[in-house]
Structure 1
Protein backbone atom coordinates (compact mmCIF):
# COMPACT_ATOMS: atom_id res chain seq x y z
CA UNK A 1 0.00 0.00 0.00
CA UNK A 2 1.30 3.56 -0.06
CA UNK A 3 -0.99 5.83 1.95
CA UNK A 4 0.80 7.16 4.99
CA UNK A 5 -1.54 9.90 6.14
CA UNK A 6 -5.12 9.87 7.27
CA UNK A 7 -6.67 13.28 7.18
CA UNK A 8 -4.02 15.66 8.55
CA UNK A 9 -2.24 13.19 10.83
CA UNK A 10 -0.27 10.02 10.63
CA UNK A 11 -2.32 7.06 9.49
CA UNK A 12 -1.74 4.71 12.42
CA UNK A 13 -3.90 2.01 10.85
CA UNK A 14 -1.59 1.88 7.84
CA UNK A 15 1.51 1.46 9.97
CA UNK A 16 -0.29 -1.11 12.08
CA UNK A 17 -0.94 -3.22 8.99
CA UNK A 18 2.68 -2.88 7.87
CA UNK A 19 3.92 -4.01 11.29
CA UNK A 20 1.41 -6.89 11.40
CA UNK A 21 2.51 -8.05 7.97
CA UNK A 22 6.20 -7.90 8.86
CA UNK A 23 5.79 -9.66 12.21
CA UNK A 24 3.62 -12.46 10.83
CA UNK A 25 5.97 -12.92 7.89
CA UNK A 26 9.06 -13.18 10.07
CA UNK A 27 7.44 -15.48 12.63
CA UNK A 28 5.97 -17.90 10.09
CA UNK A 29 9.15 -18.04 8.02
CA UNK A 30 11.26 -18.70 11.11
CA UNK A 31 8.86 -21.42 12.23
CA UNK A 32 8.81 -23.28 8.93
CA UNK A 33 12.60 -22.98 8.65
CA UNK A 34 13.01 -24.53 12.10
CA UNK A 35 10.63 -27.41 11.37
CA UNK A 36 12.11 -28.08 7.94
CA UNK A 37 15.68 -28.10 9.25
CA UNK A 38 14.71 -30.47 12.05
CA UNK A 39 13.07 -33.02 9.78
CA UNK A 40 15.60 -32.65 6.98
CA UNK A 41 18.03 -34.41 9.32
CA UNK A 42 15.72 -37.43 9.76
CA UNK A 43 15.68 -40.13 7.07
CA UNK A 44 12.28 -41.16 5.78
CA UNK A 45 11.28 -44.81 5.89
CA UNK A 46 11.14 -44.87 2.09
CA UNK A 47 14.13 -46.14 0.14
CA UNK A 48 13.74 -43.56 -2.64
CA UNK A 49 14.10 -39.81 -2.93
CA UNK A 50 11.43 -37.15 -2.62
CA UNK A 51 10.89 -37.34 -6.38
CA UNK A 52 10.52 -41.13 -6.22
CA UNK A 53 7.89 -40.98 -3.50
CA UNK A 54 6.06 -38.14 -5.25
CA UNK A 55 6.00 -40.20 -8.44
CA UNK A 56 4.40 -43.11 -6.60
CA UNK A 57 1.78 -40.78 -5.15
CA UNK A 58 1.06 -39.29 -8.58
CA UNK A 59 0.56 -42.73 -10.13
CA UNK A 60 -1.77 -43.90 -7.38
CA UNK A 61 -3.65 -40.59 -7.45
CA UNK A 62 -4.43 -40.77 -11.16
CA UNK A 63 -1.92 -38.09 -12.16
CA UNK A 64 0.75 -40.26 -13.76
CA UNK A 65 1.11 -37.84 -16.68
CA UNK A 66 2.55 -35.13 -14.43
CA UNK A 67 6.26 -34.49 -14.85
CA UNK A 68 8.84 -33.82 -12.15
CA UNK A 69 11.56 -31.25 -12.83
CA UNK A 70 14.18 -29.47 -10.77
CA UNK A 71 13.91 -25.81 -9.75
CA UNK A 72 16.60 -23.61 -8.25
CA UNK A 73 16.41 -22.24 -4.73
CA UNK A 74 15.47 -23.31 -1.22
CA UNK A 75 11.83 -24.30 -0.56
CA UNK A 76 10.86 -23.05 -4.02
CA UNK A 77 8.86 -26.23 -4.65
CA UNK A 78 5.53 -25.85 -6.44
CA UNK A 79 3.14 -27.49 -8.88
CA UNK A 80 2.50 -25.53 -12.07
CA UNK A 81 -0.71 -26.57 -13.85
CA UNK A 82 0.39 -24.64 -16.94
CA UNK A 83 3.15 -27.11 -17.79
CA UNK A 84 1.71 -29.90 -15.61
CA UNK A 85 4.98 -30.40 -13.75
CA UNK A 86 6.07 -30.66 -10.16
CA UNK A 87 8.95 -28.22 -9.72
CA UNK A 88 11.02 -29.53 -6.84
CA UNK A 89 14.08 -27.90 -5.31
CA UNK A 90 17.22 -29.98 -5.56
CA UNK A 91 17.22 -30.82 -1.84
CA UNK A 92 13.68 -32.19 -1.98
CA UNK A 93 13.94 -33.80 -5.39
CA UNK A 94 17.07 -35.79 -4.61
CA UNK A 95 16.90 -35.91 -0.81
CA UNK A 96 15.43 -38.76 1.17
CA UNK A 97 14.65 -37.00 4.44
CA UNK A 98 11.22 -36.81 6.03
CA UNK A 99 11.09 -33.11 5.13
CA UNK A 100 11.99 -33.77 1.49
CA UNK A 101 9.37 -36.49 1.14
CA UNK A 102 6.71 -34.39 2.87
CA UNK A 103 7.23 -31.35 0.64
CA UNK A 104 7.41 -33.45 -2.54
CA UNK A 105 4.19 -35.26 -1.66
CA UNK A 106 2.46 -31.98 -0.82
CA UNK A 107 3.18 -30.72 -4.33
CA UNK A 108 2.06 -34.06 -5.73
CA UNK A 109 -1.15 -33.49 -3.78
CA UNK A 110 -1.82 -30.40 -5.89
CA UNK A 111 -1.42 -32.40 -9.08
CA UNK A 112 -3.80 -35.05 -7.74
CA UNK A 113 -6.29 -32.28 -6.91
CA UNK A 114 -6.25 -31.19 -10.52
CA UNK A 115 -6.55 -34.74 -11.80
CA UNK A 116 -9.59 -35.36 -9.61
CA UNK A 117 -11.22 -31.99 -10.36
CA UNK A 118 -10.98 -30.64 -6.82
CA UNK A 119 -13.32 -27.61 -6.90
CA UNK A 120 -11.26 -25.08 -4.85
CA UNK A 121 -8.25 -25.90 -7.05
CA UNK A 122 -10.28 -25.10 -10.17
CA UNK A 123 -11.46 -21.81 -8.67
CA UNK A 124 -7.93 -20.86 -7.63
CA UNK A 125 -6.55 -21.61 -11.10
CA UNK A 126 -9.30 -19.56 -12.74
CA UNK A 127 -8.51 -16.61 -10.47
CA UNK A 128 -4.80 -16.48 -11.33
CA UNK A 129 -5.03 -14.22 -14.43
CA UNK A 130 -7.60 -11.98 -12.74
CA UNK A 131 -5.48 -11.59 -9.62
CA UNK A 132 -2.35 -10.96 -11.70
CA UNK A 133 -4.13 -8.02 -13.35
CA UNK A 134 -5.70 -6.67 -10.18
CA UNK A 135 -2.47 -6.74 -8.18
CA UNK A 136 -0.75 -4.63 -10.83
CA UNK A 137 -3.51 -2.02 -11.10
CA UNK A 138 -5.51 -1.61 -7.88
CA UNK A 139 -3.03 0.71 -6.16
CA UNK A 140 -2.85 3.12 -9.09
CA UNK A 141 -6.64 3.21 -9.35
CA UNK A 142 -7.01 3.72 -5.59
CA UNK A 143 -4.50 6.58 -5.42
CA UNK A 144 -6.12 8.23 -8.41
CA UNK A 145 -9.50 7.96 -6.71
CA UNK A 146 -8.22 9.45 -3.45
CA UNK A 147 -6.34 12.36 -5.03
CA UNK A 148 -9.12 13.15 -7.49
CA UNK A 149 -11.80 12.58 -4.85
CA UNK A 150 -13.47 10.17 -7.27
CA UNK A 151 -15.59 7.73 -5.32
CA UNK A 152 -16.10 5.53 -8.35
CA UNK A 153 -12.38 4.95 -8.78
CA UNK A 154 -11.96 4.18 -5.08
CA UNK A 155 -14.73 1.59 -5.21
CA UNK A 156 -13.23 0.08 -8.37
CA UNK A 157 -9.81 -0.19 -6.68
CA UNK A 158 -11.30 -1.87 -3.63
CA UNK A 159 -13.14 -4.32 -5.87
CA UNK A 160 -9.87 -5.11 -7.67
CA UNK A 161 -8.08 -5.70 -4.37
CA UNK A 162 -10.95 -7.91 -3.20
CA UNK A 163 -9.97 -10.45 -5.87
CA UNK A 164 -6.61 -10.84 -4.12
CA UNK A 165 -8.40 -11.45 -0.83
CA UNK A 166 -10.64 -14.06 -2.42
CA UNK A 167 -7.55 -15.68 -3.94
CA UNK A 168 -5.85 -15.92 -0.54
CA UNK A 169 -8.98 -17.35 1.07
CA UNK A 170 -9.46 -19.95 -1.68
CA UNK A 171 -5.78 -20.88 -1.39
CA UNK A 172 -6.27 -22.02 2.21
CA UNK A 173 -8.43 -25.11 1.51
CA UNK A 174 -6.28 -25.92 -1.52
CA UNK A 175 -3.10 -26.00 0.57
CA UNK A 176 -4.68 -27.78 3.53
CA UNK A 177 -6.18 -30.45 1.29
CA UNK A 178 -2.86 -31.03 -0.52
CA UNK A 179 -1.15 -31.49 2.85
CA UNK A 180 -3.88 -33.87 4.01
CA UNK A 181 -3.43 -35.97 0.87
CA UNK A 182 0.34 -36.06 1.45
CA UNK A 183 0.01 -37.08 5.11
CA UNK A 184 -2.56 -39.75 4.26
CA UNK A 185 -0.31 -41.20 1.57
CA UNK A 186 2.71 -41.26 3.87
CA UNK A 187 0.66 -42.78 6.65
CA UNK A 188 -0.52 -45.56 4.36
CA UNK A 189 2.82 -46.32 2.71
CA UNK A 190 5.42 -45.31 5.27
CA UNK A 191 5.93 -45.41 9.00
CA UNK A 192 4.89 -43.24 11.91
CA UNK A 193 7.98 -41.07 11.65
CA UNK A 194 6.98 -40.02 8.14
CA UNK A 195 3.49 -39.04 9.22
CA UNK A 196 4.67 -37.13 12.29
CA UNK A 197 7.35 -35.19 10.43
CA UNK A 198 5.11 -34.45 7.46
CA UNK A 199 2.40 -33.06 9.72
CA UNK A 200 4.85 -30.76 11.48
CA UNK A 201 6.53 -29.50 8.31
CA UNK A 202 3.32 -29.03 6.33
CA UNK A 203 1.42 -27.44 9.23
CA UNK A 204 4.23 -24.91 9.56
CA UNK A 205 4.04 -24.21 5.84
CA UNK A 206 0.26 -23.78 6.02
CA UNK A 207 0.67 -21.04 8.60
CA UNK A 208 2.29 -18.84 5.96
CA UNK A 209 -0.91 -19.02 3.90
CA UNK A 210 -3.05 -18.34 6.96
CA UNK A 211 -0.93 -15.26 7.73
CA UNK A 212 -1.18 -14.02 4.14
CA UNK A 213 -4.96 -14.45 4.16
CA UNK A 214 -5.28 -12.63 7.50
CA UNK A 215 -3.20 -9.68 6.33
CA UNK A 216 -5.13 -9.43 3.07
CA UNK A 217 -8.47 -9.33 4.92
CA UNK A 218 -7.16 -6.62 7.27
CA UNK A 219 -5.90 -4.64 4.28
CA UNK A 220 -9.28 -4.89 2.59
CA UNK A 221 -11.06 -3.61 5.70
CA UNK A 222 -8.54 -0.75 5.86
CA UNK A 223 -9.18 0.17 2.23
CA UNK A 224 -12.92 0.13 2.72
CA UNK A 225 -12.59 2.42 5.73
CA UNK A 226 -10.12 4.66 3.92
CA UNK A 227 -12.38 4.85 0.91
CA UNK A 228 -15.41 5.75 3.01
CA UNK A 229 -13.48 8.51 4.79
CA UNK A 230 -12.32 10.01 1.51
CA UNK A 231 -15.94 10.40 0.42
CA UNK A 232 -16.97 12.17 3.65
Structure 2
Protein backbone atom coordinates (compact mmCIF):
# COMPACT_ATOMS: atom_id res chain seq x y z
CA UNK A 1 0.00 0.00 0.00
CA UNK A 2 1.26 3.47 -0.84
CA UNK A 3 2.06 5.69 2.11
CA UNK A 4 1.39 9.36 1.60
CA UNK A 5 3.80 10.73 4.19
CA UNK A 6 7.54 10.44 3.89
CA UNK A 7 7.44 6.67 4.00
CA UNK A 8 8.82 4.21 1.51
CA UNK A 9 6.33 4.21 -1.35
CA UNK A 10 6.12 3.02 -4.91
CA UNK A 11 7.40 6.31 -6.32
CA UNK A 12 10.55 6.09 -4.20
CA UNK A 13 10.96 2.42 -5.11
CA UNK A 14 10.85 3.41 -8.77
CA UNK A 15 13.50 6.08 -8.17
CA UNK A 16 15.73 3.49 -6.50
CA UNK A 17 15.31 1.05 -9.40
CA UNK A 18 16.00 3.76 -12.01
CA UNK A 19 18.99 5.04 -10.02
CA UNK A 20 20.54 1.60 -9.71
CA UNK A 21 19.93 0.89 -13.41
CA UNK A 22 21.41 4.22 -14.55
CA UNK A 23 24.42 3.83 -12.30
CA UNK A 24 25.06 0.27 -13.43
CA UNK A 25 24.72 1.14 -17.12
CA UNK A 26 27.04 4.13 -16.81
CA UNK A 27 29.67 2.12 -14.96
CA UNK A 28 29.42 -0.75 -17.44
CA UNK A 29 29.87 1.66 -20.34
CA UNK A 30 32.99 3.30 -18.87
CA UNK A 31 34.51 -0.09 -18.01
CA UNK A 32 33.84 -1.35 -21.53
CA UNK A 33 35.27 1.74 -23.24
CA UNK A 34 38.32 1.85 -20.98
CA UNK A 35 39.01 -1.87 -21.45
CA UNK A 36 38.75 -1.57 -25.23
CA UNK A 37 41.14 1.37 -25.52
CA UNK A 38 43.52 0.10 -22.85
CA UNK A 39 44.60 -2.52 -25.38
CA UNK A 40 45.41 0.10 -28.03
CA UNK A 41 48.77 1.82 -27.80
CA UNK A 42 48.88 5.60 -28.12
CA UNK A 43 50.80 6.80 -31.18
CA UNK A 44 53.05 9.09 -29.10
CA UNK A 45 54.81 6.10 -27.55
CA UNK A 46 54.77 7.75 -24.12
CA UNK A 47 53.13 7.04 -20.77
CA UNK A 48 50.06 8.81 -19.48
CA UNK A 49 52.19 10.74 -16.99
CA UNK A 50 54.59 11.89 -19.70
CA UNK A 51 51.86 13.11 -22.03
CA UNK A 52 50.05 14.83 -19.16
CA UNK A 53 53.31 16.54 -18.20
CA UNK A 54 53.74 17.85 -21.72
CA UNK A 55 50.13 19.06 -21.81
CA UNK A 56 50.55 20.89 -18.51
CA UNK A 57 53.78 22.54 -19.64
CA UNK A 58 52.27 23.54 -22.97
CA UNK A 59 49.18 25.11 -21.41
CA UNK A 60 50.62 27.19 -18.63
CA UNK A 61 50.36 24.74 -15.73
CA UNK A 62 53.98 23.65 -15.40
CA UNK A 63 53.90 24.05 -11.60
CA UNK A 64 51.47 21.12 -11.30
CA UNK A 65 52.98 17.90 -9.96
CA UNK A 66 52.19 14.34 -11.00
CA UNK A 67 52.22 11.27 -8.76
CA UNK A 68 50.79 7.75 -8.83
CA UNK A 69 48.17 6.27 -6.53
CA UNK A 70 46.91 2.74 -5.99
CA UNK A 71 43.62 1.45 -7.38
CA UNK A 72 41.78 1.18 -10.68
CA UNK A 73 40.58 4.44 -12.25
CA UNK A 74 41.32 6.32 -9.03
CA UNK A 75 42.72 9.27 -10.97
CA UNK A 76 42.02 12.81 -9.79
CA UNK A 77 43.45 16.32 -9.64
CA UNK A 78 43.69 17.93 -6.21
CA UNK A 79 43.90 21.74 -6.28
CA UNK A 80 44.98 21.73 -2.62
CA UNK A 81 48.38 20.25 -3.43
CA UNK A 82 48.24 21.25 -7.12
CA UNK A 83 49.02 17.71 -8.19
CA UNK A 84 47.66 15.08 -10.55
CA UNK A 85 47.17 11.76 -8.78
CA UNK A 86 47.11 9.09 -11.47
CA UNK A 87 46.35 5.42 -10.94
CA UNK A 88 49.39 3.26 -11.55
CA UNK A 89 47.99 1.85 -14.80
CA UNK A 90 47.47 5.34 -16.22
CA UNK A 91 50.62 6.85 -14.72
CA UNK A 92 52.91 4.29 -16.32
CA UNK A 93 50.70 2.93 -19.09
CA UNK A 94 51.01 3.99 -22.71
CA UNK A 95 47.60 3.00 -24.01
CA UNK A 96 45.10 5.39 -25.56
CA UNK A 97 42.91 4.96 -22.47
CA UNK A 98 45.77 5.77 -20.08
CA UNK A 99 46.77 8.86 -22.01
CA UNK A 100 43.15 10.03 -22.30
CA UNK A 101 42.48 9.76 -18.57
CA UNK A 102 45.81 11.40 -17.67
CA UNK A 103 45.13 14.31 -20.02
CA UNK A 104 41.61 14.67 -18.66
CA UNK A 105 43.05 15.19 -15.18
CA UNK A 106 45.60 17.57 -16.65
CA UNK A 107 42.62 19.43 -18.09
CA UNK A 108 41.36 20.04 -14.58
CA UNK A 109 44.74 21.46 -13.58
CA UNK A 110 44.69 23.75 -16.61
CA UNK A 111 41.21 24.91 -15.60
CA UNK A 112 42.56 25.92 -12.21
CA UNK A 113 45.58 27.65 -13.75
CA UNK A 114 43.33 29.67 -16.06
CA UNK A 115 40.64 30.43 -13.47
CA UNK A 116 37.86 28.49 -15.20
CA UNK A 117 34.59 29.91 -13.83
CA UNK A 118 32.66 26.69 -13.23
CA UNK A 119 35.74 25.20 -11.63
CA UNK A 120 35.90 28.08 -9.15
CA UNK A 121 32.20 27.68 -8.36
CA UNK A 122 32.62 23.94 -7.83
CA UNK A 123 35.61 24.47 -5.53
CA UNK A 124 33.66 27.05 -3.51
CA UNK A 125 30.80 24.59 -3.09
CA UNK A 126 32.98 21.75 -1.77
CA UNK A 127 33.05 22.76 1.95
CA UNK A 128 29.33 23.58 1.86
CA UNK A 129 28.42 20.26 0.25
CA UNK A 130 30.69 18.32 2.61
CA UNK A 131 28.54 19.65 5.46
CA UNK A 132 25.12 19.46 3.83
CA UNK A 133 25.64 15.88 2.61
CA UNK A 134 26.14 14.77 6.19
CA UNK A 135 23.42 16.96 7.64
CA UNK A 136 20.45 16.58 5.32
CA UNK A 137 19.48 12.99 6.11
CA UNK A 138 19.75 13.59 9.88
CA UNK A 139 17.60 16.71 9.64
CA UNK A 140 15.11 14.90 7.43
CA UNK A 141 14.69 11.99 9.84
CA UNK A 142 14.39 14.34 12.81
CA UNK A 143 11.74 16.30 10.97
CA UNK A 144 9.72 13.13 10.39
CA UNK A 145 10.11 11.81 13.93
CA UNK A 146 9.31 15.18 15.50
CA UNK A 147 6.65 15.98 12.89
CA UNK A 148 8.36 19.32 12.35
CA UNK A 149 8.03 20.54 8.78
CA UNK A 150 10.67 23.22 9.32
CA UNK A 151 13.38 20.59 9.75
CA UNK A 152 12.31 18.63 6.69
CA UNK A 153 12.31 21.82 4.63
CA UNK A 154 15.80 22.64 5.88
CA UNK A 155 16.89 19.10 4.99
CA UNK A 156 15.61 19.55 1.45
CA UNK A 157 17.50 22.84 1.13
CA UNK A 158 20.66 21.04 2.28
CA UNK A 159 20.10 18.27 -0.24
CA UNK A 160 19.56 20.88 -2.96
CA UNK A 161 23.17 22.00 -2.49
CA UNK A 162 24.30 18.47 -3.36
CA UNK A 163 22.17 18.58 -6.51
CA UNK A 164 23.62 21.97 -7.42
CA UNK A 165 27.11 20.54 -6.94
CA UNK A 166 26.32 17.63 -9.27
CA UNK A 167 24.98 20.02 -11.92
CA UNK A 168 27.97 22.36 -11.69
CA UNK A 169 30.29 19.35 -11.95
CA UNK A 170 28.95 18.51 -15.43
CA UNK A 171 30.47 21.48 -17.33
CA UNK A 172 33.70 21.10 -15.33
CA UNK A 173 34.11 17.48 -16.39
CA UNK A 174 33.01 18.07 -19.98
CA UNK A 175 35.41 20.99 -20.36
CA UNK A 176 38.33 18.96 -18.96
CA UNK A 177 37.57 16.20 -21.47
CA UNK A 178 37.29 18.72 -24.29
CA UNK A 179 40.72 20.12 -23.42
CA UNK A 180 42.20 16.61 -23.34
CA UNK A 181 40.74 15.57 -26.70
CA UNK A 182 41.78 18.85 -28.33
CA UNK A 183 45.33 18.48 -27.07
CA UNK A 184 45.61 14.86 -28.18
CA UNK A 185 44.28 15.78 -31.61
CA UNK A 186 47.26 18.09 -32.05
CA UNK A 187 50.05 15.88 -30.69
CA UNK A 188 48.78 12.42 -31.56
CA UNK A 189 47.10 10.59 -34.37
CA UNK A 190 43.48 10.16 -35.30
CA UNK A 191 43.22 6.98 -33.26
CA UNK A 192 44.32 8.84 -30.14
CA UNK A 193 41.60 11.44 -30.62
CA UNK A 194 38.91 8.84 -31.37
CA UNK A 195 39.87 6.68 -28.42
CA UNK A 196 40.10 9.59 -26.03
CA UNK A 197 36.72 10.87 -27.13
CA UNK A 198 35.19 7.42 -26.60
CA UNK A 199 36.68 6.89 -23.14
CA UNK A 200 35.98 10.39 -21.89
CA UNK A 201 32.43 10.46 -23.27
CA UNK A 202 31.73 7.26 -21.35
CA UNK A 203 33.23 8.83 -18.23
CA UNK A 204 31.11 11.96 -18.66
CA UNK A 205 27.95 9.86 -18.78
CA UNK A 206 28.65 8.68 -15.22
CA UNK A 207 28.41 12.30 -14.09
CA UNK A 208 25.27 12.84 -16.15
CA UNK A 209 23.71 9.78 -14.51
CA UNK A 210 24.68 11.00 -11.03
CA UNK A 211 23.20 14.44 -11.69
CA UNK A 212 19.98 12.97 -13.08
CA UNK A 213 19.61 10.69 -10.06
CA UNK A 214 20.12 13.61 -7.69
CA UNK A 215 17.54 15.73 -9.53
CA UNK A 216 14.99 12.89 -9.38
CA UNK A 217 15.55 12.51 -5.65
CA UNK A 218 15.15 16.25 -5.10
CA UNK A 219 11.91 16.34 -7.11
CA UNK A 220 10.62 13.42 -5.04
CA UNK A 221 11.45 15.15 -1.76
CA UNK A 222 9.82 18.38 -2.91
CA UNK A 223 6.69 16.53 -4.04
CA UNK A 224 6.40 14.71 -0.72
CA UNK A 225 6.95 17.93 1.21
CA UNK A 226 4.22 19.74 -0.74
CA UNK A 227 1.81 16.81 -0.43
CA UNK A 228 2.30 16.68 3.30
Quickly name the TM-score band, shorter chain normalised. over 0.9
SS at structure 2 position matched to 1:197: helix
Q: Name the Cα RMSD after superposition.
A: 1.4
TM-score of the aligned structures, taking structure 2 as reference length: 0.97
Deviations 1:198-232 (A, max 9, x none): 000000000000000000000001111112223xx
Q: Which residue of 2 aligns with 1:52?
A: 50
Assess, with a 3 A threshold, how the Cα gap between structure 1 residues 65 and 5 changes in structure 2: closer, same or farther. farther
SS at structure 2 position matched to 1:103: helix
Match of 2:125 among 124, 127, 140: 127
Alpha carbons 2:55, 2:106 under 8 Å: kept = yes
Match of 2:74 among 73, 76, 90: 76
Deviations 1:8-36 (A, max 9, x none): 98501111111111101111111110100
Q: Which residue of 2 aligns with 1:187?
A: 185
Alpha carbons 2:6, 2:144 under 8 Å: kept = no
Alpha carbons 2:42, 2:99 under 8 Å: kept = yes
Aligned partners of 2:87, 2:10: CA distance in 1, in Å?
40
Query: Number of aligned pairs?
Result: 227
Assess, with a 3 A threshold, how the Cα gap between structure 1 residues 82 and 174 changes in structure 2: closer, same or farther. same
Deviations 1:151-180 (A, max 9, x none): 211111010000000000000000000000
Match of 2:110 among 88, 109, 112: 112
Aligned partners of 2:123, 2:81: CA distance in 1, in Å?
13
Aligned partners of 1:35, 1:8: CA distance in 2, in Å?
40
Unaligned runs of 5+ in 1: none
Aligned partners of 1:8, 1:195: CA distance in 2, in Å?
49
Aligned partners of 1:84, 1:180: CA distance in 2, in Å?
21
Aligned partners of 1:157, 1:70: CA distance in 2, in Å?
38
SS at structure 2 position matched to 1:75: coil
